[in-house]
Amino acid sequence: MKRRIMLAIPILIIYLIPLSAYGATDQCYTCHSALEDKESKLFAEDIHFKKGISCSGCHGGDNTTEDNDAAMNKEKGFIGVPKGNKITEVCARCHASEKMMKSFGSKLPVNQFDNLINSVHGKTSTAGGGRIVQCTTCHTAHGIKSVKDPLSPVYATNIPKTCSKCHADANYMRTYNPTLAVDQYTQYLTSVHGKLNSTGDPKPAQCASCHGSHDIKPVKDIKSKVYPVNLPYTCSGCHSNKEYMAQYKIPTDQFEKYARSVHGQALLVKNDPGAPACNSCHGNHGAAPPGIESISKVCGTCHALNEELFSASPHKAAFDRKGYPECETCHGNHEIITATNKLLGVDKDGVCIRCHGDQNSSGYKSAYIMRKLIDSLDETKQSAMILINEAEQKGMEITEAKFKLRDINQVKLEARTQVHTFDPAKFKDIVGKGLVISRDATADAKVAIHEYYFRRVGLGVSVFLISLLAFGLFLYLRRIEKK
């Protein structure tokens, strides 16, 4: 302990010397602090002041003279209080210059200014006169702290509050986008991220973690970190980082699993922005894992009919009783794969057998029947397809039958929805429609194949008759020409 104090004294001395030295030579600060104005009080705590930057660094003028008129002389570059875009331009003089930043020993990036003017906040304010957001809007003016300083308004635990000053103000936000929600902050406070953030933990996601800081883009902008196609990568930035997530004791393989899922394939491989991303199930500002009882509601936002049928089925009560997560029990969560026939039934790959192992149980029998039905639909479709292909290879016009057969895909889709009733009778009604389509298409194909052979026979007969006529004519001609 004694050693630590000994070490801290010289560091403190080195830190304080320039402060007092500059304080003594900076006439702006000397006078304004003597006046005890608010700005000079705040500036004493400002990181720029600590780095030896005078008031004149931003406001211009001469900081070496005591004479008011000389110090605040426009000819000496005094600009007074910068307004509108001038504010950011004053900051950019140093913060956009690598040389200047290096001269103060700063390693901060120098692209904030560019990022800001190209961001959604860089657009013109409705109040007119400048951009929506200037540097001081978030960082404040005279009491600017390091981002790592817990007192800074842009320190991780303070960011939500800082952003909410505008984003929770319905009157203000309405002037930009009346449809934009203003409850993000309220929702955030209910989220897992928000709750942890409120305890002073800077690691959980806050506004800037997902939206970025200076380079914030509108959500609909494909470059936005929260554009649907980019969102899983943004979330996985933290959630796939084992080291970062270690203290929270939750798995870190969600992204890996999601990328393999039917949803992930649609979003990340096919780039379909309508496919569900992390926020579709977990929420965005109020992100939290769905509770066991609410899973079917969450999935039901897209799979509405499945949810409705499931909720009306006997499984709903049974699952609630046993505490099984609804859709997740059969389909999984992050790694939801395309539901095939295999999922249904009592084979080793089927999910029904997991609960309905007893062969005499009605559940086992229902699963067995439904699987047989859907398999028979596939088989009849396959055999119709073979016949249609044969007819097509024979050069027959069979487009209509091919179109008919496409309707079976719709039937299969309906059947896969209907399976959530777990009622073999209802399921049979749907599959029956497909079997009729298969039967019709098969009949069409058979007719076409028969027609193919009929045409050849017809051709044979016609060619024979025409040849016979031609031969008769030939004989007649020979007879008359002999005369």
Partner 1 sequence: MKKYFAQTYKWIDERLDLTSLGHFIEKKYVPIHAHSIWYYFGGVSLFFFLIQVLTGILLLFYYKGSADLAFESIQFIMSKVQFGWLIRSIHAWAANLFILSVFIHMFSVFFEKSYRKPRELTWVTGVFLFFMTLAFGFSGYLLPWNKLAFFATKVGTDIAGNIPIIGDVMKGFLRGGDDVTGATLSRFFGFHVALFPGIFTILLVIHIIMVQRQGMSEPLDIESSPNAEKKSMPFFPNFMLRDLLLWLIVLNVLAILAVFFPADLGEKADPFSSAPAGIKPEWYFLFMFQTLKYIPAKIFIMDGELLGIVLFGLAGLLWVLVPFWDTQSSKGLRNRKINYIGLFAVAFIIVLTILGWIS
Query: Which residues are at the interface with partner 1 (CB under 8 A)?
Result: 395, 397-400, 455-456, 458-459, 462-463, 466-467, 469-470, 473-474, 476-477, 480-481
CB 368 to partner 1: min, Å: 41
Rounded Cα–Cα distance for residues 102 and 258 (Å): 43
What count of other Cβ atoms lies within 10 Å of the Cβ of residue 470? 10
CB 387 to partner 1: min, Å: 15
Query: Which residue blocks in 168-224 are alpha helix, DSSP H?
Result: 170-174, 184-190, 192-198, 207-211
131, β-bridge pairs: 124
- CA-to-CA separations, 252 to 79, 230, 243, 278, 349, in angstroms, rounded: 53, 18, 10, 14, 27
Angle at CA 134, nearest 5°, toward 133 and 140?
A: 110
Encoded amino acid at 21, one letter: A
CB 86 to partner 1: min, Å: 51
Identity of the residue, 20 or 393, whose beta carbon is nearer to partner 1 in the bound complex: 393
**What's the gap between Cα 109 and its chain centre?**
27
Identity of the residue, 23 or 395, whose beta carbon is nearer to partner 1 in the bound complex: 395
CB 405 to partner 1: min, Å: 15
CB 455 to partner 1: min, Å: 5
Identity of the residue, 14 or 480, whose beta carbon is nearer to partner 1 in the bound complex: 480
Q: Which two tokens stand for residue 469?
A: 């006529």
Identity of the residue, 15 or 476, whose beta carbon is nearer to partner 1 in the bound complex: 476
Encoded amino acid at 194, one letter: G
CB 125 to partner 1: min, Å: 43
Identity of the residue, 294 or 399, whose beta carbon is nearer to partner 1 in the bound complex: 399
Identity of the residue, 312 or 470, whose beta carbon is nearer to partner 1 in the bound complex: 470
Q: Is the dihedral of CA 196, 200, 203, 205 positive or negative?
A: positive
Q: Which two tokens stand for residue 141?
A: 């003016």
Q: Which two tokens stand for residue 183?
A: 């409850």
Rounded Cα–Cα distance for residues 320 and 322 (Å): 5
- CB-based contacts of 300: which residues, under 8 Å, 6+ apart? 306, 307, 308
Identity of the residue, 21 or 466, whose beta carbon is nearer to partner 1 in the bound complex: 466
CB 443 to partner 1: min, Å: 14
